[in-house]
Amino acid sequence: MKELRGKVAVVTGGASGLGRAMALAFAREGMHVAIADVDAANLERVAGELRSAGVDAYAARVDVAQAAQVDRFAEDARNALGGVHVVCNNAGVSPLGLAWENTLADWQWTIGVNLWGVIHGVRAFTPMLIEQDEGHIVNTASVAGLINPPGSAMYNLTKHAVVALSETLHHDLAERKSKLGVSVLCPAYVATGIADSERNRPADLANPPRDKSPDQLAREAMLRKAVSSGKLSADDIARAVVDAVREDRFYILTHPRIKNAIRARMEAILEERSPSNPLRDA
Ligand SMILES: NC(=O)c1ccc[n+]([C@@H]2O[C@H](COP(=O)([O-])OP(=O)(O)OC[C@H]3O[C@@H](n4cnc5c(N)ncnc54)[C@H](O)[C@@H]3O)[C@@H](O)[C@H]2O)c1
């Protein structure tokens, strides 16, 4: 989409981090913006920031894991802002831990937000964009959608699935000669609230009080350090997203150094070797 001014962008997870930065970046391009999040207080704060930037804003408390809430948000956002053109399925959480130690609630929460959230966004918004034959969908995955760091099976699995969904969506639209664009955002570490994802876990998926394993504590400390020392800011990532929408670019790989690890994984697959550890070997 070359012309963004006056069009409408939708961003899930818009109350914090990358989602907030994307919402503000689209506003700077003159787009009106709808944001969805479970964090009602920060939603209102970001909606205020958007209006201060001189555009219309619509904010709704939405749990993206819930189909009916996303369906309603899609209708309400379109009615409130007079259309939808760019859709960023971005809300996500990042609990860590060994696959055999994660609880059923951990799996349900992570898959609900990171995968069902994107599926619901694609389901609810793509028909609207197809109808007008104009628009762009940006799904937030991660470098963890292209490589598999240890200690984060739940996260890796959902992010690989988001890459798979996005690539397939791209093919399905292209086969139909659709003018819609698709991008998949795959950043490495960026300083946001992601290491504190637990703040937004719904009560019905809470774990009973328990001691975390030493492995989980070590992984959490590592994630916190890596995220807080990320070299690129959320605004840098948001600018890359705006550029990709304008240039109709599919893969958004914001951290080029990670390509060594992606290449190592691909080579191991093609040569049928055991996978290398991307945190250690690449
Ligand atoms: N920060 C990083 O280093 C990094 C790297 C790669 C990918 N990502 C991805 O970027 C996306 C945004 O994360 P972030 O880093 O900005 O973290 P963040 O915690 O700052 O923002 C995530 C937002 O999603 C919201 N959210 C959580 N559960 C939700 C739900 N069920 N429904 C609606 N909203 C919900 C949170 O309230 C929060 O506002 C995520 O998909 C994350 O996996 C982040």
282: in domain: no
The backbone torsions φ and ψ at residue 136, rounded to the nearest 5 degrees and listed phi first, read: -150, 135
Domain assignment of residue 159, yes or no: yes
Quote the ligand 1 centre to 111 CA distance (angstroms): 13
Residue 163 lies in a domain: yes
The strand pair at 8-12 and 32-37 is best described as: parallel
**Based on the structure, what is the number of domains in the chain?**
1
* Ligand 1, pocket-test mutation among 11, 113, 192, 232, most atoms within 8 A of CB: 192
Q: Is residue 46 part of a domain?
A: yes
Q: What pLDDT was estimated at residue 209?
A: 83
Q: Is 189 a catalytic residue?
A: no
- The whole-angstrom separation of Cα 181 and Cα 105 is 35
CA 48 distance to own-chain centroid: 22
Please check whether residue 220 lies inside any domain of the structure: yes
In the reported structure, the alpha carbon of residue 90 is separated from the centroid of ligand 1 by a whole-number distance in angstroms of 7
274 occurs within a structural domain: no
As averages over each run of 10 residues, the pLDDT of the chain (282 residues) reads: 97 98 98 98 98 98 98 98 98 96 96 98 98 98 98 97 99 98 98 96 93 88 93 97 98 96 97 94 64
Q: Is residue 42 part of a domain?
A: yes
C-alpha–C-alpha distance, residues 241 and 72, integer Å: 26
What angle do helix axes 40-52 and 17-28 make, rounded to 10 degrees? 20
CATH code: domain of residue 212: 3.40.50.720
Residue 188: phi and psi, rounded to 5, are: -90, -150
Chain-centre distance for alpha carbon 164:
14
Distance CA 83, CA 61 (A): 19
pLDDT recorded at residue 178: 98
The kind and range of the H/E element at 252 are: strand 251-252
Strand duo 32-37 + 57-61: pairing: parallel
pTM over 0.85: yes
